[in-house]
Amino acid sequence: MVDLKPKTPCAGLVPLRVGPLSLLEDAPGHMTAIAPYLGQDAALSEALKAAHGMAAPGVGRMSGTRGARALWFGQRMILLIGPAPDAGLVKFAALSDQSDGWAVLRLEGQGAGDVLARMTPLDLRPTQFKRGHTARSDCAHMPASITRLGEDAFQIMVFRSMAATLVHELKIAMGRVVALQ
Amino acid sequence: MRIEGKGLVEGRTPISFTFDGTRYQGFEGDTLASALLANGVRMVGRSFKYHRPRGVMTAGSEEPNALVTLGFGAAQEPNMRATTVELREGLWARSQNRWPTLGFDLLAVNDLAAPFLGAGFYYKTFMWPRRFWERVYEPLIRRAAGLGALSGAPDEDRYERAFAHCDLLVIGAGPTGLMAALSAAKAGADVILADEDVAPGGRLLAETIEVDGISGAAWAREMAAELAALPNVRVMTRTAITGAYDQGTYAALETRADALARRPGAACGTFWRIVARRSILAAGALERPIAFANNDRPGVMMAGAVRAYLNRWGVAPGQSVVVFGNNDSAHRTAADLDEAGVHVAALVDSRHYATCDLDVPFYPGAEVCDTQGRRALESVTIRSAKGEERLRADCLAVSGGWNPSVHLACHMNPRPVWNADLLAFLPPENALPGMVAAGAAAGDFSTRACLQGGARAGQEAARDLGFKGGELAVPMAEDAPCDIFPLWQVPGRGRAWLDFQNDVTVKDVQQAAHENFRSVEHMKRYTTQGMAPDQGKNSNVAALAVLADATGRGIPETGTTTFRPPYVPVPIAAIGAGGSGKGFAPERLTPSHDETRQRGAPMIEAGLWYRPGYFPRDKETHWRQSCDREVNMVRGAVGVCDVTTLGKIDVQGPDAGAFLDFVYTNMMSTLAVGRVRYGLMLREDGHVMDDGTCARLGAQHYLLTTTTAAAGQVMRHLEFVHQALRPDLDVRLASVTEAWAQFAVAGPKSRELVNGLLDAPVGDATFPYMACGAVRLGGINARLFRISFSGEHAYEIAVPARYGAALFSELVARAEAMDGGAYGMEALNVLRIEKGFITHAEIHGRTTAFDIGMQRMISAKKDCIGKAAAARPGLVEEGREQLVALKPVGAVKELLAGAHLFNAGDPATSAHDQGYVTSTCFSPTLGHVIGLGFLKAGRARIGERVRMVDHLRGSDTLCEVLDPIQFDKDGGRLRG
């Protein structure tokens, strides 16, 4: 039987450390795009809560805790991150496996927000974009999902194929920010 | 000359720098201009057209004369204003627009020819012969006139771009801006306070004015410290707001102090996009000159600038100064100079009613009417009721009043409003949504009024945003009324300059009016007034006053020209920061990228994706050798190709079939689970948008593929159709392109190769042509599709993308053991041309299903997007250009994509155009060159001969028209 070795999207590119900033790859077990069918949003939220312990997140929000999170991922779409989706969810929503489709990076450390200010037009002021807030936006000309995980910690997701460009751009921006610290 | 005990740079670190090859000393905190003046350097440049000697005139970013080039090589920066260049150790600056040297400039002969070089001279002079304009005259003029030059090498300066957001943007950190920022911040608003200077304070740094009983500079320092301590305030110095745009967006250029810019990894400057809910324009005002004969000699300066050099940098710009003005700024300059012990030769005030209690020679109701001096000012002629009098002076400080900096308020097109009392244009009310002007920018010229105006504007902006509080006690300061008497030009012989940077004189403007360029916009274009890097900051108002006079209109009727961004020059390198080279666009790399590069494959860009052109092997020296081998490999054994880049879209839901019937021309709802169908999508206008496959993975689950290039477009189209046209259908869409790595395995040995990997092998009975389904491979869940883009028995195998790299290596290694291997885009292209399969070379946006011979794919049983439009008579005419194949049959064996087709007997002109060639290749299978193209009524002309002519590349080939499918027309090999 053939033995295929898996490779993460950012293998060989991270971890990166520049001054107090670090860029790490998160490799969640599963990622599933969940898109509720007509009129099933509430039922889906109930089912999510029952199966995975979190309600469906509102627009621009993330629900759940570390290890099992639900991320608002676009118009009436949720990304379940962590667990394999409960089989019962297909009654309420279309499920698409995205486990391998996105590079998931975590940018942490003092000045992380300043780094992202060089990458994305999003308003990331702590008063406007709090922990658990998420947005789909542009990140260095790449379609991205950006989420605040903590005071100085963000999750950045881009298409798997763009991981190298994202890491390259982030590395430059991290250097720029650290140089001014 | 430095004055002991004056200025804010005293006691600072000495710095040495070089100007035009000579070493000088200055201090930390100096600008290049202040350091040059301190060293007695008065001539720093030559003027644009006449190459007149010029010296420092202002102390800010509006400087028209003191333009220098900094640095060498690629980082050479032309047209830097010496008045804003921070002095740093080793700074190396050069004067511009002179040859061979600043002191001895051969092109100064232009000044002697001045009578012939007036407004519009080149429009009149260089009209004949016409072809000389581009080749002779323009290069000549460009050499003689002009300012600094770029190096011609790519700029390696490391600029960056960034975004910032705030509740309130305060533009300018003078007394107005400081009060506005503090008051809004105290109320709780998020504030950005931006100023182009190196420190907050504005005019307070340049004056002896006291605020709250302490020096203005000290008060500004205290305010800046208080603001910096607030968490909701961001003070951005060295940051010029350069433009105001829609929805509260402002552009800003931040330059970085040299010490910071030199740190490893640092950027030398940042181009900001600042989004603010409200803004306060506290940009102050710029002092304007008065036009009189020879008012451009080095040593003639703005009165406020003379104070700035004296009070801020401790520099006296001259030893004997004449001060001239029509307002109290002149008096203030005379007082400061006198106080500092600098000789004031005369205070000339054009206001006849003016009084003065200073101990200086005072000339009320008089004017300066001329100046003398060779390379710099030597004496000044004063005209009063008593007659003309000449006084020795090496500096003439001039004030013609103040122009509020209304620019940003007018960037969205509204025009400023004339105030006849202040003799100034003021920002119009509600010029820019969310912006108010305050302080000198709004016509409040006293310090106290600025402080009050700033505090009020800050508080109101905060209140408007829902914050409460922010009341500030307004400190005491001078509150002198504005007293000004109109004086734009002093009559007299000799040229009187309006625009120093572009060498435009009063006579030029009058000449423009005389020749009927009476509109201010026409005058600007005819004379070039206001066009240089200073964008007329010094000259606009005076020039239009002269124009108003010349045309017999008032100033408000004459109006201003359009204010446009940027407020100060912005390097293109800053606006486009990060966009050079590969920074221009992201790269999308396939799962097989590393292995592909290791095999030496050159890459072809397909959209953002990088795909291999071919895989060279030993002894292959030309791409065609590799390509031919790869084609033969697929036709004879097996080839492997990464097709991950093709778009993959999950379409799921109870109405998925109905939805697909609506977007595809053909029927998808009837597709059986486990089967694939080729599909065609039309645009609303009936032309082909894209083609691809549609696989039914489950009762409610379809998987579409799109072409690589159109993946995004198709996804957007489907979302539009679902959200806007058919929201009634219960269907959900998700792009899964990146989740799966997908490889084509094509050739007679493809099944053998695939079966070697699958946990359970497939056969014709279980897995016929156009079958699809879930398979397992090394214990991994995978998908298999029996589809072909090569015409061979072929599969596409998809695995979760994490296994893609490993699977590609495995597939290629096994293929090579079977006399096969990897193939690239070149071979893929040959294989599909041989089969007559289309790509976006054929479905390029102007072709219909009819044109490509697929009109029968538009199902008669149902409606679909584009169906009605595609049925328009003009789109189904037999005479339309139709898809055919071509092969050369004459002596020339070349086919070129992009070439046009003509009937053999016709001349090759557009009137006789019969069609064009879209794709060509050498077919190793057929042994000759073939091509695809579109030919008028082509399907009925199989067997005819046509000419292919390529006018660009000079090719003329006789071709035979063939059926588009040249290989295995009955498809036996696909099913085999």
A-chain CB neighbours of B590 within 8 Å are 161
d(CA B166, CA B190): 5
pLDDT at B135: 72
C-alpha closest to that of B162 among B252, B264, B257: B252
Burial of A142-159, coded b for 16+ CB within 10 Å and e otherwise, reads bbbbbbbbeebbbbbbbb
Residues 6+ apart with CB under 8 A from B342: B3, B310, B316, B318, B319, B321
- Please give, rounded to a whole number of angstroms, the shortest distance from the CA of B522 to a CA of chain A: 39
Residue B128: pLDDT band with limits 50, 70, 90:
low
- Kindly state the average pLDDT of the residues B203-213: 96
Asked if this assembly's ipTM is beyond 0.95, the reply is: yes
Lowest mean pLDDT among B11-20, B116-125, B264-273, B778-787: B116-125
Element of type H or E holding B112 = helix B109-112
User: What pLDDT does residue B404 have?
Assistant: 97
pLDDT at B653 over 90: yes
Q: For Cα atoms A17, A21, A23, give the angle at the middle one, nearest 5 degrees.
A: 60
By the 10 Å C-beta count (0-12 exposed, 13-18 middle, 19+ buried), B501 is classed as buried
A17-31, B78-92, B104-118, B947-961: least confidently modelled range: B104-118
Residue B106: predicted pLDDT: 75
Domain with CATH 3.30.1360.120 in chain B: 588-645+739-832
Helix (H, G, I), strand (E, B) or coil at B243: strand
> A6, B589: Cβ pair inside 8 Å?
no
Task: Let me know: does B633 contact B615? Beta carbons within 8 Å.
Answer: no
d(CA B392, CA B370): 12
At B488-524, the pLDDT tens digits run 999 988 999 999 988 999 999 999 999 999 999 999 9
pLDDT of residue B118: 74
User: Out of 3.30.70.1400, 3.40.50.300, 3.30.1390.20, 3.90.700.10, which CATH number does the structure's domain B648-735 have?
Assistant: 3.30.70.1400
Answer whether B266 sits within 8 Å of A169, measured CB to CB. no
Which CATH topology does B159-285+404-464 take? FAD/NAD(P)-binding domain (3.50.50)
Q: Is the dihedral of CA B691, B697, B703, B707 positive or negative?
A: negative
**Contact check, Cβ <8 Å, A98/B803:** no
Smallest CA–CA separation between B788 and chain A, in Å? 25
Residues of B in Cβ contact (< 8 Å) with A133: none
Cα-Cα end-to-end distance for chain B: 96
Strand partners, B250: B244, B274
Q: How far is B648 from chain A (nearest CA, A)?
A: 11
Q: Which of B781, B652, B658 is nearest to A34 (CA)?
A: B652
* CA proximity to B54, closest of B91, B20, B1, B98: B98
CA distance B545 to B523: 12
Whole-number average pLDDT of chain B: 94
**Contacts across the A-B interface (CB distance below 8 Å):** 145
Reported as a single tens digit per residue, the pLDDT across B93-118 is: 999 877 777 777 777 777 777 776 77
Torsion of CA B573, B576, B579, B584, to 10 degrees: -140
Q: How far apart are CA B522 and CA B791, in angstroms?
A: 66
**B806 contacts in chain A (CB < 8 Å):** 4-7
Q: What is the mean pLDDT of residues B551-556?
A: 92
Q: What is the mean pLDDT of residues B614-630?
A: 96
Q: Which residue has the tokens 């306070």?
A: B193
Within 8 A of A102 by CB-CB distance, chain B residues are: 738
Residues of A in contact with B803 (CB under 8 A): 4-7
Predicted pLDDT at B697? 97
- Chain B nearest-CA distance from A125, in A, is 7
For residue B801, give the nearest of A93, A124, A160 by CB distance: A160
3-state DSSP of chain A: CCCCCCCCCCCCCCCEEECCEEEEECCCCEEEEEEECCCCHHHHHHHHHHHHCCCCCCCCEEEEECCEEEEECCCCCEEEEECCCCHHHHHCEEEEECCCCEEEEEEECCCHHHHHHCCCCCCCCCCCCCCCEEEEEEECCEEEEEEEEECCEEEEEEEHHHHHHHHHHHHHHHHHHHHHC
pLDDT at B71: 86
Q: Do B162 and A117 touch (CB under 8 A)?
A: yes
pLDDT for B303 beyond 80: yes
Whether B157 shows a pLDDT value over 70: the answer reads no
- List the one residue out of B301, B537, B550, B250 whose CA is nearest residue B411: B250
Q: Which CATH architecture is the domain B878-975 placed in?
A: Beta Barrel (2.40)
Cα three-residue angle A156-A162-A163, rounded to 5 degrees? 55
Pick from A4, A140, A172: CB nearest B806: A4
Q: Which residues contact B755 (CB under 8 A, 6 or more apart)?
A: B761, B762
Give per-residue pLDDT as tens, B416-444.
Answer: 999 999 999 999 988 899 999 999 999 99
Q: For B486-567, which CATH superfamily applies?
A: BFD-like [2Fe-2S]-binding domain (1.10.10.1100)
By percentage, how much of chain B surpasses pLDDT 70?
97
- Coil, strand or helix: which one is B51? coil
| Distance in angstroms (rounded) separating the CA atoms of residues B265 and B272 | 18
| Chain A nearest-CA residue for B268 | A176
Supply the pLDDT for residue B144: 62
- Spatial CA neighbour of B436 closest among B413, B456, B419: B456
Record: fold of A30-97: Alpha-Beta Plaits (3.30.70)
What is residue B633's three-state secondary structure? helix
Question: Which of A35, A164, A169 lies closest to B732 in CB terms?
Answer: A35
Note the pLDDT tens digit of each residue in B811-864. Answer: 999 999 999 999 999 999 999 999 999 999 999 999 999 999 999 999 999 999
Alpha carbon distance B647, B835 (integer Å): 22
Handedness of CA B374, B378, B382, B386 (dihedral sign): negative
pLDDT (0 to 100) of residue B231: 96
Please say if the pLDDT value at position B969 is more than 90. Answer: yes
Which candidate, B132, B231, B242, places its Cα nearest to that of B190?
Answer: B231
- In angstroms, the CA B450 to CA B405 distance is 14
A165 vs B contacts (CB less than 8 Å): 586-587
**CATH 3.40.50.1460, domain B1-152, yes or no:** no
Does residue B29 surpass a pLDDT of 70?
yes
**Phi, then psi, of B14 in degrees rounded to 5:** -70, 150
C-alpha radius of gyration, chain B, whole number: 38
User: What's residue B143's pLDDT?
Assistant: 64
Which residues of chain B lie closer than 8 angstroms to A2, CB-CB?
757, 777-778, 810
Q: Is the peptide bond before B100 cis (omega within 30 degrees of 0)?
A: yes
H helices, E strands: number in chain B: 25, 50
Q: Give residue B942's identity as a one-letter amino acid code.
A: I
Residues of chain B with CATH 1.10.10.1100: 486-567
pLDDT score of B151: 78
Q: For residue B739, what is the nearest residue in chain A, using CA coordinates?
A: A101
Residue with tokens 């949504």: B433
Of B75-84, B334-343, B618-627, B937-946, which gets the smallest average pLDDT? B75-84
Q: Output the six-digit token pair for B92.
A: 């190396």
Closest CB from B164, B652, B739 relative to A98: B739
What pLDDT, in 10s, does the model give residues B462-489? 999 999 988 899 999 999 999 999 999 9
The answer to whether B588 touches B609, Cβ cutoff 8 Å, is yes
Residues A100, B741: Cα–Cα separation, whole Å: 9
Chain B residues closer than 8 Å to A1 by CB: 759, 778-779
Closest CB to B653 among A2, A37, A97 = A37
Give the per-residue pLDDT at B126.
62
Contact at 8 Å (CB) between B603 and B613?
yes
**pLDDT tens-digit profile of B438-452?**
999 999 999 999 999
Would you say B159 and B261 are in contact if contact means Cβ atoms under 8 Å apart?
no
Say if the Cβ atoms of A2 and B267 lie within 8 Å.
no
Quick one: residue B386, left, alpha or beta (phi over 0 = left, psi -120 to 50 = alpha)? alpha
The answer for A133, left when phi > 0, alpha when psi is -120 to 50, beta otherwise, is beta
Q: What is the pLDDT of residue B112?
A: 75
CA-derived radius of gyration, chain A? 17
pLDDT at B133: 67
CATH topology of domain B290-400: FAD/NAD(P)-binding domain (3.50.50)
Which positions ≥6 away from B150 have C-beta within 8 Å? B76, B78
Return the pLDDT at B122.
63
pLDDT tens-place values along chain A, 181 residues long: 789 999 999 999 999 999 999 999 998 889 999 999 999 999 999 999 999 999 999 999 999 988 899 999 999 999 999 999 999 999 999 999 999 999 999 999 999 999 999 999 999 999 999 999 999 999 999 999 999 999 999 999 999 999 999 999 999 999 999 999 9
| pLDDT-based confidence at residue B141 (cuts at 50, 70, 90) | low
- Chain B partners within 8 Å of A94 (Cβ): 650, 652-653, 732, 734
CB-CB neighbours of B897 under 10 Å: 15
The whole-number average pLDDT for the span B279-298 is 97
Q: Taking the domain A16-27+101-180, which CATH number applies?
A: 3.30.1360.120
Going by DSSP bridges, is the β-strand pair B367-372/B379-384 parallel, antiparallel, or unpaired? Answer: antiparallel
B161, A118: Cβ pair inside 8 Å? yes
Question: Is there a cis peptide before residue B78, judged by omega within 30 degrees of 0?
Answer: no
Numbered ranges of CATH 3.30.1360.120 in chain A: 16-27+101-180
Domain covering B588-645+739-832: architecture: 2-Layer Sandwich (3.30)
Q: B196, exposed or middle or buried, with CB in 10 Å at 0-12, 13-18, 19+?
A: buried
Chain A residue nearest residue B777, CA to CA: A2
Q: Which one of A4, A95, A140 has the shortest CB-CB distance to B803?
A: A4
